Structure 1
Amino acid sequence: DSLLLGEIHMSLLSLLLTSVVNELQNGALSLASKDCQFYAFLQF
């Protein structure tokens, strides 16, 4: 059960990182926005 939870967590982390990298490559995120998203992720 905890293994499944870990796999879900890693999948979500991977999805988030992929999304952030894509946004960075497109230049759509400002530094403040990145910091805010990172802080929100840490609170998750």
Structure 2
Amino acid sequence: MRRFLLLYATQQGQAKAIAEEICEQAVVHGFSADLHCISESDKCEK
């Protein structure tokens, strides 16, 4: 199964719902998605 990273950002929840639907459809097509909200990710310092 091929994997990919799916990042989303949302204020009212619509983007999260769409991202979750993409994840579900990805499985049907032989993919596995790692779903992450950008606002919940740790900031990295360079």
Taking structure 2 as the reference length, what is the TM-score of the superposition? 0.46
Question: Given the two structures, how large is their TM-score scaled by the length of structure 1?
Answer: 0.48
Bigger fraction of residues in strand? 2
Higher RCO, 1 vs 2 (CA within 8 Å, ≥6 residues apart):
2
Larger Rg: 1
